[in-house]
Amino acid sequence: MNKRVLGLLLALILCLPGVVANAAAKTSADFTDLKDLDAATKAKFDALIAAGVFNGVGEDKFGLKEEMNRAQFAKVAALIFDLKVDGDQKTSSFKDVKSDDAANGYALPYIEAVKAAGITDGYGNGVFNPAGKVTKEQLATFLIRGLGKKEDAKDTPGVNDSTVSDWAKGYVALALELKLLANGADGKFGGQSNATRDLLVLGAYEAKQQYVPPVKPETKPDPKPETSTPSRTLPATVTVAKPAANPVGGEVAAGTAVSLSTATVDAVIHYTTDGSTPTVSSAVYSTAISITSPVTIKAIAVKSGATDSEIMSESYTVIQPVLDVVAKPTASQAGGEVAAGTLVTLNTATPNAEIHYTTDGSTPTESSPVYSTAICIESPVTIKAIAVKLGATNSEVMSESYTISPPVLEFVAKPVASITGGEVMLGTPVTLSTATPDAVIYYTIDGSTPTTSSPIYSAAISVISPVTIKAIAVKPGAFDSEIMSENYTVMMFPPILPGGPCVPPFLPGGPCVPPIPPMPIVP
């Protein structure tokens, strides 16, 4: 076996222009990042380096843990599976593969070779994505198909591994069984992680070891006709060719059109997309099937007078587009203690995004109210909001909680009397006022403390006897004023002024009493 492998590798070397000198010069010993490999692993690397399947990423660096793109893998697959490669081919069947592509144009003939071999049909819609990375589950799939074991993979129970896509579980199970690849230290395959160059080398080596080239049928000359009278033979029953899908099952872009065909002329294809077995009563295929969600297409081809074909089964999953995330909404006022009546506006940095919000503490959804105007904070509340936009992932949830700060109240100005307390003329009017606009003055004249149940001041108070006027000023939304208190006594007779003509009457309206002359002093 080892001699046969060595012979194949030597044949590869001779078929690769520009590789012979490099193969003679390079081994694993020439790369610093391969020096710690064990001898058996180094031998595998040496075999593929010598064959020109792999080389370093630098003069002394192999790039053991670097990732390989799909164009590079196409070359590896074409070489290890001895595919027919047309080195003069300049036009690709994929619209994104160009011979003048400085980075990946070299791979065009290899890409066409792996497509012709049925190893991969690209991503669908005429796209190969040569610069895209190869995931571990894709690597397992490509290696199994390259070994011609696609049908075996379909019959292999899939792995019970959440890291592997449903469509790839049979391929991964068979790749593990054939020891092409191995699980990680955690027991998981890590199917959707990108494959590194060391995995590609070891997987390619093992696949090369197990690869058996297809045997071409021998051409035998037509037998000479018998001289005796031939016996009458019954025609053999023809089996209709099994339908084929393009592209084959796997991960495809949303909207990929899958076409079905059969090599049998005039055969009719019946198919299902619900996983059930197709029959002649199933839908008749007439136009490409658009893949918009995970689906399994099963199909048979039938023709009158022939045996129905085998059942074709292809499973597809949809590549989820990487969507932009809408910017999280922001509030003009951060949560905390705010004054009653504060207005909070919501914004998002994503143009044309729509904000949905709640004020009851629930998580907002696209069914929640649409924000359109500022939200007035009148009581404790939690505002939660998301921003959404068609074709993008909804934003994170914004959450701001508000409480109401107690109002800062002012004191109403203390009332003042137009005449300060003291001795006043009988009937003197005393007016009350406060400097606080719209305040109401309550007063008493019996010495009691005024309250809002006391009389409301509305007109001057006439002092006709000794009295104490007490008053407060009151206004809604403010603290009551201090208490004003003024004591008044009544002057019974006015002072006699020198030269005054008379003394005021004792009673209102009484006659004027002449002043009493001074009494003479008798010695």
pLDDT grade, residue 334 (50/70/90)? very high
- Say what the pLDDT of residue 21 is: 39
Cα–Cα dist 239/267, whole Å: 11
Task: Give percent above pLDDT 70 in the chain.
Answer: 85
Asked if the model's pLDDT at residue 512 lies above 60, the reply is no
Instruction: Give 312-363 as a DSSP string.
Output: EEEEEEEEPP-PPBPPPPEESS-SEEE-TTEEE-EE-SSTT-EEEEESBSPP
Average pLDDT for residues 388-396, to the nearest whole number? 92
Q: Average pLDDT in the 172-195 region?
A: 91
Please state, in angstroms and rounded to a whole number, the distance separating the CA atoms of residues 285 and 440: 91
CA 357, chain centre distance (Å) = 18
* pLDDT score for 506: 47
What's the confidence (pLDDT) of residue 121?
Answer: 82
Distance CA 262, CA 264 (A): 5
Determine the pLDDT at residue 521: 53
Give residue 27's pLDDT.
Answer: 86
Domains (ranges, CATH) in the chain? 2-210 (no CATH), 244-319 (2.60.40.10), 330-404 (2.60.40), 416-491 (2.60.40)
The alpha-carbon radius of gyration of the chain (Å, integer) is: 51
How high is the pLDDT of residue 388?
96
φ, ψ at 109 (rounded to 5°):
-65, -30
Q: Is the pLDDT of residue 227 over 70?
A: no
At 349, the pLDDT band (50, 70, 90 cuts) reads very high
H/E stretch holding 416 = strand 416-417
pLDDT surpasses 60 at 9: no
Predicted TM-score (pTM) of the model is: 0.42
Angle at 33 between CA 28 and CA 37, to 5 degrees: 65
Q: What is the pLDDT of residue 365?
A: 96
pLDDT at 284: 94
Q: How far apart are CA 171 and CA 249, in angstroms?
A: 12
Residue 501: what pLDDT? 54
Which pLDDT tens digit goes with each residue over 37-95?
A: 888 888 888 888 887 787 777 778 888 788 888 988 888 888 888 888 898 888 999 98
Please tell me which of 29-33, 37-41, 210-214, 438-442 the model is most confident about, judged by mean pLDDT: 438-442
What pLDDT sits at residue 223? 56
| pLDDT on residue 502 | 53
pLDDT for 235 beyond 60: no
Mean pLDDT over the full length of the chain: 85
Counting Cβ atoms within 10 Å, is residue 55 exposed (0-12), middle (13-18) or buried (19+)?
middle
Q: What is the pLDDT of residue 56?
A: 77
What pLDDT shows up at residue 12?
45
pLDDT tens digits, 409-423: 889 999 999 999 999
pLDDT at 508 over 60: no
Q: Considering only CA atoms, which of 441, 422, 420 is closest in space to residue 490? A: 422
Percent of the chain with pLDDT over 90: 50
Pairing of strands 416-417, 283-284: unpaired
Residues 254-313: pLDDT tens digits?
Answer: 899 999 999 998 899 999 999 999 999 999 999 999 999 999 999 999 998 889 999 999
pLDDT digits (tens, 9 = 90+) for 11-23: 444 444 434 334 4
The pLDDT of residue 58: 79
More confident residue, 4 or 156: 156
Q: What is the pLDDT of residue 511?
A: 52
Burial 312-333 (b: 16+ CB within 10 A, else e): bbbbbbbeeeeeeebbbbebeb
- The pLDDT tens digits for 98-139 are 999 888 888 899 999 999 988 988 877 788 988 888 899 999
pLDDT above 90: residue 360:
yes
pLDDT digits (tens, 9 = 90+) for 448-504: 999 999 999 999 999 999 999 999 999 998 899 999 999 999 987 655 555 555 555
What is the pLDDT confidence band of residue 236, given thresholds at 50, 70 and 90? low
- Model pLDDT, residue 213: 77
Task: Note the pLDDT of residue 374.
Answer: 95
Torsion sign (Cα): 184, 186, 190, 194: negative
pLDDT of 229 strictly over 70: no
